Chain A
């Protein structure tokens, strides 16, 4: 059968592969190459070696945005996962209205980052105005505003994954533990959580990369203000490209650093949590 299919590769592979080359491979390779060049419009690229990378690492704002993103990611990964897991635990028990609650909690996830950002900007400014503050003049509230927004958006998504995980655990495991005299807390620690490791792996991976790649929400809620102190890496890279003429090469170098970071983080995280998974 393989042989007869093989001849049809232009029809089966052609369209996707062509689009893949235009939409991904060419821009990616060009991006890597241009990070070593000085350029304004791609066609005038001149090879300058690693000087873009040197400039990128010497940029204090890039370093600050990296710190901001790191702290932000750690806070949101912990908050979102703990809250989503807790909600999932409650909503898989026999209480009234679980289906309605699931529907409500998942809903914000479908709304795009730009729209979400402006909805919350209105709300935060409405609250903060009572204290003569505004979201975009306060670094601290900008940070927590983003945290609240991301929690609101993503808890529902992670909850769905955790609920699917919880429902896949055979009830006999918990029953056996209960007969052996294990209390609620002991069952959670020794039965539920070890069996949930695949879901936990996925959810931490997703929240980790979402936190790192945060862009739309950052742009619409704080836009980096005040004075770029609430700017994450993705937004900093964007501003380097489009906000400062002559820094396109540096922007591209930052983007490569960002890419390497995201890949490394993903790999480390997957390895770390996969090793804790148990086979059923």
Chain B
């Protein structure tokens, strides 16, 4: 029983206006990123004019003086590395604790759920000390920390899915002589593909934007991710270079929008799947 809603055109017009309002913050940043820094705080809502237009100067400052591209590299390494490691390790973990059912595995499952609820402030100070002691304050080392900290959600979602896979398929593979490792990688892993995408997207969203964990654990003199660079530029007292900040904000947003528009279908599905399991 599908039909046109009453007043459909009214809703369309209203939502179009709201949508324009919704994306306007991004356009305001785009506009300001081409203005001279002294004009930004004085007249943020005006388009750049002859006097205030500076071309790509702010972008050049952001890249050369504040090392923005290096921060992008740190972000990429941290996000891609951690997500790949999380996906492989936690899916194996989840399959094992679902298929081997005893007190230990049930305990591990509860521990994972528990870790999802704990706020980061509870462990931040001690976690920074632990990473410092173990010399894990590099992007490579942080991958281990992210595996530990992101395991909760990932294990939880993978377990939910493994339970729905008929065990007969795996039994058949094992009877045919597959070792558990081979069974996992050539039978279970392909079946779980949708869950890999969902978990991958949720973890990517978290790690790409994460500020406090890398801020406290990374060796700040050597490595900074994008949120750290932006926070450092604004947080430093004295002269704040608004122009370079605008350029950084925009360069931080663009890859996210590109990623979003290119895998929107999966992102929205991933979010919905993550929520239903919750």
Q: Which residues of A lie under 8 Å from residue B126 when comparing CB positions?
A: 26-28, 30-31, 34, 42, 252
Q: Taking the nearest CB of chain B, how far is it from the CB of A95, in angstroms?
A: 4
Contact in complex: A110, B44 (CB < 8 Å): no
Cβ-defined contact, B44 with A164, below 8 A: no
Residue-by-residue, is B230-271 near A (CB-CB < 8 Å gives 1, otherwise 0)? 110011000000100110010011001101110010011001
A219 to B85, CA, bound (A): 30
B144 contacts chain A at the CB level, 8 A cutoff:
yes
Complex-state Cα separation, A102 to B261, whole angstroms: 12
A6: Cβ under 8 A from any B Cβ: yes
Are the C-beta atoms of A95 and B268 separated by less than 8 Å? no
Interchain CB contact under 8 A, B11 and A95? yes
Across the interface, which residues of A come within 8 angstroms of B1, CB to CB?
171, 175
Is A82 in contact with chain B by the CB < 8 A criterion? Answer: no
Instruction: For the complex formed, measure the closest distance between the CB of B49 and the CB atoms of chain A, giving whole angstroms.
Output: 16
Do the beta carbons of B89 and A9 come within 8 Å of each other? no
User: Does B120 count as interface, using CB distance less than 8 angstroms?
Assistant: yes
Q: Nearest CB to that of B148 among chain A residues?
A: A23
Binds B, one of A53-61, A114-122, A185-193: A114-122
At the interface, yes or no: B161 with Cβ under 8 Å from chain A? no
Complex Cα spacing A123 to B22, Å: 13
* B9, B170, B264 interface centre (most CB from chain A within 10 Å): B264
**Range of interface residues on B (Cβ < 8 Å):** 35 or more
Q: Which residue of A lies closest to B133 (CB)?
A: A42
Contact at A202–B180, with CB atoms within 8 Å? Answer: no
B9 to chain A, nearest CB (A): 8
From the candidates A11, A13, A256, A266, name the one contacting B122 in the complex (CB within 8 A): A256
**Inter-chain contact A101/B15, CB cutoff 8 Å:** yes
- Asked whether, in the complex, the Cβ of A114 is within 8 Å of the Cβ of B230, the reply is yes
Known contacts A1-B171, A16-B151: A206-B275 contact under CB 8 Å:
yes
Q: Taking the complex as formed, is B278 at the interface, i.e. its CB lies under 8 A from any CB of chain A?
A: yes
In this assembly, does A234 line the interface, its C-beta being within 8 Å of a C-beta of chain B?
Answer: yes
Determine the chain B residues whose CB is within 8 A of the CB of A205 once the complex forms. Answer: 278
Is B205 at the interface (CB under 8 A from chain A)? yes
Stretch at the interface among A70-78, A137-145, A257-265, A272-280: A257-265
Kindly identify which residue among A19, A97, A111, A114 contacts B89, using a CB–CB cutoff of 8 Å.
Answer: A19
The residues of A that contact B152 with a CB separation of less than 8 Å are 24
Interface string of A85-112 (1 = CB under 8 A from B): 0000011011111001111111111111
* A residues neighboring B (CB under 8 Å): 1-2, 4-6, 8-9, 11-13, 15-17, 19-28, 30-31, 34, 41-42, 90-91, 93-97, 100-115, 118-120, 122-123, 125-126, 129, 152, 157, 160-161, 164, 171, 175, 199, 202-203, 205-206, 209, 212-213, 215-216, 219-220, 223, 234, 237-238, 241, 248, 251-252, 255-256, 258-259, 262-263, 266
Judging by beta carbons under 8 Å apart, are A122 and B28 in contact?
yes
Please tell me if the beta carbons of B122 and A122 are within 8 angstroms of each other in the complex: no
Chain A contact surface mostly: helix
CB-CB nearest 9 A-B residue pairs:
A23-B148, A112-B209, A126-B44, A19-B148, A12-B96, A19-B147, A93-B5, A27-B123, A27-B126
Our pick among A22, A118, A252, A256 for the contact of B130 (Cβ within 8 Å) is A22
Contact string against A for B residues 147-170, beta-carbon threshold 8 Å, 1 for contact and 0 otherwise: 111011001000000000001001
The answer for the CA separation of A119 and B252 in the assembled complex, in Å, is 11
Chain B residues whose CB sits within 8 angstroms of the CB of A161 once the complex forms: 271-272, 275
Contacting pair B149 A11 (CB below 8 A)? no
**Shortest CB distance B101–A (Å):** 7
B209 touching A111 by the CB < 8 A rule? yes
List the A residue with the shortest CB-CB distance to B127.
A27
A119–B28 CA distance with the chains assembled, in angstroms: 9
* Residue contact B144 to A23, C-beta cutoff 8 Å: yes
Is B19 in contact with A8, judged by CB distance below 8 angstroms?
no
- In the complex, what residues of A have CB within 8 A of residue B103's CB? none
Asked whether, in the complex, the Cβ of A101 is within 8 Å of the Cβ of B8, the reply is no
